[in-house]
Structure 1
């Protein structure tokens, strides 16, 4: 064994075996399943590349292509009249009646993110491909495929450009005239395909989805003035060979090199505008982008794409020290890692991939990344691929500020502004609150804010929940505290925070002890079990509700102090906070989720919403509130580590906030556990929460939030901060004993560069966006620093 290890070490030293890349996903075969494909995006257009040799398939998406049309927020103008009856039932401890009455406070379900279409490239010559290689380089956002067939080497290069709003596919062969292929387009949506002037044109429309439940396919209604329109254009630029066309396809014969341009656009023109009668001209936009890009040389488009992408991606670099992991394909690498083997660069790759996905899916104002980012092939996607706002949408953005991608946060922040418009009406009509705005469990591109549930058909455990405004408002403060952008806070952010707080203030009621609580309340998607066997979700004084409102009030108070404004309202919030029903520790030593110390229907439930104050909130900490931190730890221990992908992502952050370094790392490893593609049949299937072969998060099925939550957790293990201090290496795992990081951001507008060895900080430099002071803490050492705007200092530690 020692001899074999020595040979392996010598081979690495001699360069025969290279350590695995922390920037490249690669495979020895084409993708057969969606969960094996490689994804590209420019924040608006998404492409899912399968990379087949004889026939290549690329799913196309546009972040603005959804079913439906602007929501009618007045859909149930008298729903609020049911609130007193629910409250009365709860006051009488009649939980069964309260559960049924709570269903009367429901509206429509969300619309669905739609699949735009599929581009197919079919080779005329069929044969067996050898020396096949498929990759995605996330350092430049370019995917490549290469293979040999009949002695000829073929290559393909794919990227989606933000500067040029175009997808590019470059095909080459190493023998003259060896490229022979045809291209066609199809869509699951209602569409028409034709060729005009050597351009393949697909035009269609998204369905009007009249809110059947998640399980029913959207219905098409033939009404001309409804539904978002879309256009896809495909054009070939060739160096030689001949283009011919049929009614629905383009064909290139006897070419050596060809560049395919793909342009997409929709008529979506805002959450409150009819996409037909008030829509933008999707045909003109698609054509304009196509013509501009087609006139440019390939190298110029590629150069602009890489420069634009890297200005975000290159801000952060992470190194976790030496690795002896061999150079394997990414799917093989995941399987090896699942067996407990070391692969530090895979851990870095997953972190880098999270940042890659956010840059690629979140660059359209008012349209944040959804449950699947921007990559959805299904007409009826899981959970409508919507905005699930009781965790998933927010988790998508946990890495935005601390991993130096603040610009990618803007689509969510602008979406919150849209929600506040419909949410004012929701607050009045569903909850009887005349001030502020509210939002519920689900939303969509139309900024729907009503509680969902198909008007009484769904379970309150998920349908009846009005706390999204409170949670989302904390993202506004996060953006300010990381960027120090006071203009944003004053002009955009604070009014939205205040509106969320106003709703919560009016929604609170007094319990029998004179404390403020919510009623009715639910704890997202969880259920309690009473001594008489009743299982329900509707109750009062939910810990999760109060944790989110605490955080909302606390951050709104801080924002008003920063702006030196609204002192009277600030006083109201401070007074209310002092009267909140306090946290309770249950008989098992856990942090109670319910007002009373009830049993959970499922003690290992995936949601842990009542731990919000620990993370993403910050009012529970091991130092400030040791008893509550310990109760949070006990809660996590009872829940266990086996859970869905996004929930693993949340729990890693929670363990990191508890400074439990090795438990956080254990769960990070489990998040990267290999999961088989959904449709794959194997003798020993690997299922459950984890990671698919293409590094997508397995809920299962695919949900992108686990990718984002996991990447955010890496940053949380390395740097934790608040308005006054920055903790360096607070949850550094033993496995990462040496390493360095550059570009991680901290609250207060600071950016960190540091190195460590034997788990001890050795070098650090800090720069400041706007000037300010903070206290650096690592281990037993503390150091106060004050920086001027733009100043960077190195510190001896």
Structure 2
């Protein structure tokens, strides 16, 4: 009898476990009708968007390296810098209207666009009603599945995109012999050709040479007829039975029981400075080589390779937020329930895990970081060109790279910064008149464009004229070093880039009437001030955001020089400049001023909060070190309010976490997970605005991936915060997460944390060190100094 009770209890535990809402699986009872309901896969280069239709399955294909355009002509506006003195003079005379107009002369072309490669369609011959339909994405192994029944036959599909084998795999099965009958076709919105050769469906094409009116032709390419990035998609079927036939533009499989579809994609992109038409790689040969190698391997081996490769990154972190009573529901219903204020801790974990999944899946190509949509874009003219927006969005994509143990994914961005420094040297000279260092502006693309945008004077300076992306991006280099302790990288690549960014800032700074160093001209990203006379503008001098980023850039460059014991003279210059920067100002409302003067904001609830850069992602404002500035930052956030776009909410959650206000951070985290209807869906009571789509994509709206990344980073920030000398445990833990555990969160100094907590207090803490070193562990008012050897683990009790 006792044995029987034991097994019944064991069964009950097992059953409870498998029926509880998952922290790793997104699932639905119907196919996707809209992009924002689809499930995405990727290997950091090839992206696939799976709709999972029963009669007809649609899969959007993307390649991270398929963009419009060709290498940028960095010298597009060689005398732009000659306008800088006139702008500075206008600002000195407080003539902001004139300065605004003159600032338009410091503009170049707009960025190129990330392009949609094509659509793969699998059309079943049997048309009928599907029952018992189930669609899922398991982010613990990066595999999507579809299953349904039709006319008494069960059909299944399994999809994954492999990094080690550079291939997409789709396995189809039927429960009755010979019941698989389908054809495959491929099409593209780009200029392309589709044909079948040797039972392989071949689509070749070319990306457009430009996407906007502001494009100027690089003279040395004028005589070349062939231009633009070429692409190739190959599709081949491996069958166990049945018969493959083909028409001119499609493959057909008849009377099969099991089949595997192989999809291989390549482009001619060969680097930001190589013409993809004349100096490109052979996309057809690469696609064919990857196809042949993968086709020779059995399905199980390909799947095993894929899972092992993916899990070596994904499995590093494990999060548990305590008991949950939420029912097991499809993900879209779960999100709706959560949006109505119900508890679902496992949905919160799923969202965090999904952020890490998206970064692994979209950021594994050197020099090609995740763009505004990761790597998943169905549009010929995507929102904001699906480009690299560098006044927040590109950087936000990488806030979770180091602290959630995905340092390898950060290298896509770090190598891109190196590319930017090349074109950025020209930009610094020709647009800003600074002969040392490199600069980058608001937007970029795969060609590492660094010029200020605006179509040569046609666009508003409030977003087009901003030269501080280099300063911001350089801090990512220090982040990478301080988390990994990779001194060899810092010496060889990182520090020279940091120094170049700092050199530009030194050359760009001027002295105000009181002897303080400021920037002139200046803008605060995408925001505008309102003067007493009613003038609304963006151009000013000494904007707080500029100076916050320069402070952080100088501080981190000084630290890097000290680590490497180099550049003492240059370090001295930076230290001197730091001490002379125009100090932060607290306005009459108690807020941290965004402008040099205490002006009104044209939009007090504006989505950008760039003046708070020093609080997050910077670290020179903290409640402990600078309580007055921290309080002013809090007041600024109060004035702005909590209602904002997806990515902005992601940023604000991190800011509240840095103010150690876990409950406010959690309130906004819940709002980030507010259900938003797909963009094209017509409903009686539409749910719109910033939040989360049914497939957990971030709604800006429309879809922008930075909110996913910012939101996931914020979860880690609520649990662990660190600097080079200390690690703070549970600094912003909300009441809702009073118990839980986490494993694998990284801290600066090369440390890794594993801990459980109860009643909001850490109970068991294990700290390990990558390279050996010392730190101070802090919880509340308790501190412990820790010294560890390389590879050492230690259990700590508070």
TM-score (norm 1): 0.97
Q: Find the counterpart in structure 1 of residue 500 from structure 2.
A: 499
What is the correspondence of 1:582-597 to structure 2 with a 5 Å cutoff? 582-597=583-598
Post-superposition offset of 1:15: 3.8
Kept after mapping to 1: 8 A contact 2:113/2:211:
no
Alpha-carbon distance in structure 2 between the residues aligned to 1:45 and 1:222? 32
Alpha-carbon distance in structure 2 between the residues aligned to 1:647 and 1:670? 12
Post-superposition offset of 1:13: 9.7
Kept after mapping to 2: 8 A contact 1:243/1:251:
yes
Post-superposition offset of 1:413: 0.1
> Greater shift after overlay, 329-338 or 221-230?
221-230
Alpha-carbon distance in structure 2 between the residues aligned to 1:224 and 1:126? 46
SS in 2 for 1:35: helix
Q: Find the counterpart in structure 1 of residue 114 from structure 2.
A: 113
What is the correspondence of 1:410-559 to structure 2 with a 5 Å cutoff? 410-559=411-560
SS in 1 for 2:19: coil
1:628 partnered with 2:629? yes
Kept after mapping to 2: 8 A contact 1:139/1:313:
yes
SS in 1 for 2:562: helix
Q: Find the counterpart in structure 1 of residue 240 from structure 2.
A: 239
Kept after mapping to 2: 8 A contact 1:12/1:18:
no
SS in 2 for 1:707: helix
Post-superposition offset of 1:337: 0.1
Q: Find the counterpart in structure 1 of residue 404 from structure 2.
A: 403
Cα deviation code 1:394-439 (max 9, x no counterpart) = 0000000000000000000000000000000000000000000000
Post-superposition offset of 1:211: 2.9
What is the correspondence of 1:682-697 to structure 2 with a 5 Å cutoff? 682-697=683-698
Alpha-carbon distance in structure 1 between the residues aligned to 2:652 and 2:213? 33
Alpha-carbon distance in structure 2 between the residues aligned to 1:754 and 1:603? 40
1:36 partnered with 2:75? no
Alpha-carbon distance in structure 1 between the residues aligned to 2:268 and 2:13? 54
Cα deviation code 1:135-184 (max 9, x no counterpart) = 00000000000000000000000000000000000000000000000000
Alpha-carbon distance in structure 1 between the residues aligned to 2:212 and 2:123? 38
Q: Find the counterpart in structure 1 of residue 607 from structure 2.
A: 606
1:152 partnered with 2:153? yes
Alpha-carbon distance in structure 2 between the residues aligned to 1:245 and 1:322? 55
Aligned residues: 782
Cα deviation code 1:7-54 (max 9, x no counterpart) = xxx999974992200000000000000000000000000000000000
Q: Find the counterpart in structure 2 of residue 69 from structure 1.
A: 70
SS in 1 for 2:343: coil
Assess, with a 3 A threshold, how the Cα gap between structure 1 residues 14 and 124 changes in structure 2: closer, same or farther: closer
Kept after mapping to 1: 8 A contact 2:145/2:159:
yes
Assess, with a 3 A threshold, how the Cα gap between structure 1 residues 13 and 340 changes in structure 2: closer, same or farther: farther
Kept after mapping to 2: 8 A contact 1:645/1:698:
yes
Post-superposition offset of 1:781: 1.2
Alpha-carbon distance in structure 1 between the residues aligned to 2:303 and 2:18? 31
Kept after mapping to 1: 8 A contact 2:22/2:346:
yes
Alpha-carbon distance in structure 2 between the residues aligned to 1:545 and 1:261? 49
SS in 1 for 2:49: strand
What is the correspondence of 1:730-749 to structure 2 with a 5 Å cutoff? 730-749=731-750
Q: Find the counterpart in structure 1 of residue 793 from structure 2.
A: 792
Alpha-carbon distance in structure 1 between the residues aligned to 2:297 and 2:366? 27
Which consecutive residues of structure 1, in runs of 5 or more, have no partner in the other structure? 1-9, 215-220
Q: Find the counterpart in structure 1 of residue 680 from structure 2.
A: 679
Alpha-carbon distance in structure 2 between the residues aligned to 1:222 and 1:610? 47
Alpha-carbon distance in structure 2 between the residues aligned to 1:189 and 1:261? 22
Kept after mapping to 1: 8 A contact 2:72/2:447:
yes
Alpha-carbon distance in structure 2 between the residues aligned to 1:213 and 1:636? 37
Assess, with a 3 A threshold, how the Cα gap between structure 1 residues 13 and 273 changes in structure 2: closer, same or farther: closer
Q: Find the counterpart in structure 1 of residue 133 from structure 2.
A: 132
Cα deviation code 1:746-773 (max 9, x no counterpart) = 0000000000001011000011000000
What is the correspondence of 1:264-343 to structure 2 with a 5 Å cutoff? 264-343=265-344
Assess, with a 3 A threshold, how the Cα gap between structure 1 residues 243 and 14 changes in structure 2: closer, same or farther: closer
Q: Find the counterpart in structure 2 of residue 7 from structure 1.
A: none
Cα deviation code 1:293-315 (max 9, x no counterpart) = 00000000000000000000000
Kept after mapping to 1: 8 A contact 2:109/2:214:
no
Alpha-carbon distance in structure 2 between the residues aligned to 1:569 and 1:759? 46
Q: Find the counterpart in structure 1 of residue 50 from structure 2.
A: 49
Alpha-carbon distance in structure 2 between the residues aligned to 1:125 and 1:506? 69
RMSD of aligned alpha carbons: 1.3
What is the correspondence of 1:627-776 to structure 2 with a 5 Å cutoff? 627-776=628-777
Alpha-carbon distance in structure 2 between the residues aligned to 1:760 and 1:222? 69
Q: Find the counterpart in structure 2 of residue 252 from structure 1.
A: 253
Kept after mapping to 1: 8 A contact 2:391/2:525:
yes
Assess, with a 3 A threshold, how the Cα gap between structure 1 residues 440 and 321 changes in structure 2: closer, same or farther: same
Assess, with a 3 A threshold, how the Cα gap between structure 1 residues 568 and 510 changes in structure 2: closer, same or farther: same
Q: Find the counterpart in structure 2 of residue 185 from structure 1.
A: 186
**Following superposition, which runs of at least 4 residues in structure 1 exceed 4 angstroms of deviation?**
10-14
Alpha-carbon distance in structure 2 between the residues aligned to 1:760 and 1:553? 37
Post-superposition offset of 1:780: 2.0
SS in 1 for 2:671: helix
Post-superposition offset of 1:779: 1.6
Q: Find the counterpart in structure 2 of residue 23 from structure 1.
A: 24
Post-superposition offset of 1:276: 1.1
Alpha-carbon distance in structure 2 between the residues aligned to 1:426 and 1:468? 12
SS in 2 for 1:399: helix
Cα deviation code 1:692-718 (max 9, x no counterpart) = 000000000000000000000000000
Alpha-carbon distance in structure 2 between the residues aligned to 1:151 and 1:526? 60
Kept after mapping to 1: 8 A contact 2:166/2:264:
yes
SS in 1 for 2:754: strand
1:367 partnered with 2:368? yes
Q: Find the counterpart in structure 2 of residue 218 from structure 1.
A: none
Kept after mapping to 2: 8 A contact 1:238/1:255:
yes
Alpha-carbon distance in structure 2 between the residues aligned to 1:13 and 1:361? 35
Cα deviation code 1:90-144 (max 9, x no counterpart) = 0000000000000000000000000000000000010000000000000000000
Alpha-carbon distance in structure 1 between the residues aligned to 2:184 and 2:14? 46
Assess, with a 3 A threshold, how the Cα gap between structure 1 residues 51 and 248 changes in structure 2: closer, same or farther: same
Alpha-carbon distance in structure 2 between the residues aligned to 1:213 and 1:343? 48
Kept after mapping to 2: 8 A contact 1:11/1:17:
no
Alpha-carbon distance in structure 2 between the residues aligned to 1:38 and 1:132? 15
Q: Find the counterpart in structure 2 of residue 206 from structure 1.
A: 207
Post-superposition offset of 1:213: 6.5
Q: Find the counterpart in structure 2 of residue 619 from structure 1.
A: 620
Alpha-carbon distance in structure 1 between the residues aligned to 2:415 and 2:436? 21
Q: Find the counterpart in structure 1 of residue 7 from structure 2.
A: none
Alpha-carbon distance in structure 2 between the residues aligned to 1:661 and 1:360? 30
Kept after mapping to 2: 8 A contact 1:61/1:115:
yes
Alpha-carbon distance in structure 2 between the residues aligned to 1:748 and 1:212? 47
Which consecutive residues of structure 2, in runs of 5 or more, have no partner in the other structure? 1-10, 216-221
Post-superposition offset of 1:223: 6.4
Cα deviation code 1:330-350 (max 9, x no counterpart) = 000000000000000000000
Post-superposition offset of 1:795: 1.3
Kept after mapping to 2: 8 A contact 1:440/1:466:
yes
Kept after mapping to 1: 8 A contact 2:104/2:458:
yes
Cα deviation code 1:588-645 (max 9, x no counterpart) = 0000000000000100000000000000000000010000000000000000000000
Alpha-carbon distance in structure 2 between the residues aligned to 1:15 and 1:97? 69
Assess, with a 3 A threshold, how the Cα gap between structure 1 residues 525 and 140 changes in structure 2: closer, same or farther: same
SS in 2 for 1:789: coil
